[in-house]
């Protein structure tokens, strides 16, 4: 099983910080897992970002995951991809990138999670937990009750795959989420919109570490 970090920071298009600046701050805060999520740029601009971000991540020993742009595999120092398309064929994607590349997928239901686990995903981002401004969607919010319901179902099927809660998570949600049985959390807005980015990241890290197993 591949190493999967329990606290993942996801970059976004935001006015106050570039993706590169977000990565620099996250790494300075101690981040060991960055998901570069940019759906607004050309391949050339994406690669310009990714090359710089990869150097920062390499300096700090941080894993770099790229959202969705799997066609960029091999063109930069990318350790993995997170695929948001819940209908994506992970068997085909695994054949495309090989076994060394980390593949994560998004899920909303138990059926989504079962399929991802069977098709070879390395981890699952399950959500949305709550309303989020960084990735608006029409999925029903899971809330604590959703995770508390879904995690035992997964366990009863003997499916063992890291599940990360995602979507509008605040620092005060972490304890209950971890108690619901999730592996970790993926955070964006609660960190990049904080008064102190580094302090916010470290607060989340402490919360995950304290409440984790």
Residues 45-59: pLDDT tens digits?
A: 999 999 999 999 999
Q: Return the H-helix or E-strand segment holding 184.
A: strand 184-187
What is the number of other CB atoms lying within 10 angstroms of the CB of residue 39?
12
Write down the pTM of the prediction: 0.96
Mean pLDDT of 40-48: 97
Q: Return the H-helix or E-strand segment holding 114.
A: helix 110-118
- Return d(Cα 177, Cα 164) in angstroms, integer: 9
| pLDDT on residue 212 | 74
Catalytic choice (135, 149, 156, 193): 135
SS3 104: strand
State how far Cα 110 lies from the chain centre: 18
Residues 73-129: pLDDT tens digits?
A: 999 999 999 999 999 999 999 999 999 999 999 999 999 999 999 999 999 999 999
| Residue of 176, 173, 130 lying closest to 151 (CA atoms) | 176
Catalytic choice (6, 37, 115, 188): 37
How many Cα atoms within 13 Å fall on the side-chain side of residue 24?
7
Q: pLDDT category, 213, cuts 50, 70, 90? A: low
| pLDDT on residue 135 | 65
Annotated active-site residue 115? The verdict is no
Mean pLDDT of 132-142: 79
Annotated active-site residue 37? The verdict is yes
Catalytic choice (6, 32, 106, 115): 106
What is the number of other CB atoms lying within 10 angstroms of the CB of residue 126?
29
């Amino acid at each position: 099983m591949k190493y999967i970090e329990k606290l993942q920071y996801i970059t976004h298009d935001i006015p106050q910080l570039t993706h590169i600046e977000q990565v620099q701050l996250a790494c300075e805060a101690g981040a060991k897992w960055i998901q570069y999520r940019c759906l607004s740029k050309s391949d050339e601009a994406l690669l310009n970002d990714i090359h710089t971000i990869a150097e920062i991540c390499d300096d700090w020993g941080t894993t770099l995951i790229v959202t969705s742009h799997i066609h960029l595999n091999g063109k930069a120092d990318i350790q993995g991809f997170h695929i948001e398309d819940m209908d994506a064929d992970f068997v085909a994607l695994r054949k495309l990138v090989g076994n060394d590349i980390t593949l994560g997928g998004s899920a909303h239901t138990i059926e989504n999670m079962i399929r991802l686990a069977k098709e070879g995903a390395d981890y699952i981002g399950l959500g949305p937990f709550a309303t989020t401004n960084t990735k608006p969607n029409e999925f029903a919010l899971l809330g604590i009750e959703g995770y508390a319901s879904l995690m035992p179902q997964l366990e009863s099927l003997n499916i063992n795959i890291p599940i990360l809660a995602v979507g509008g998570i605040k620092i005060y949600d972490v304890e209950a989420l971890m108690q619901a049985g999730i592996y970790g959390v993926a955070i964006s807005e609660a960190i990049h919109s904080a008064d102190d980015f580094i302090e916010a990241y470290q607060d989340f890290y402490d919360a995950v570490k304290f409440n984790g197993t």
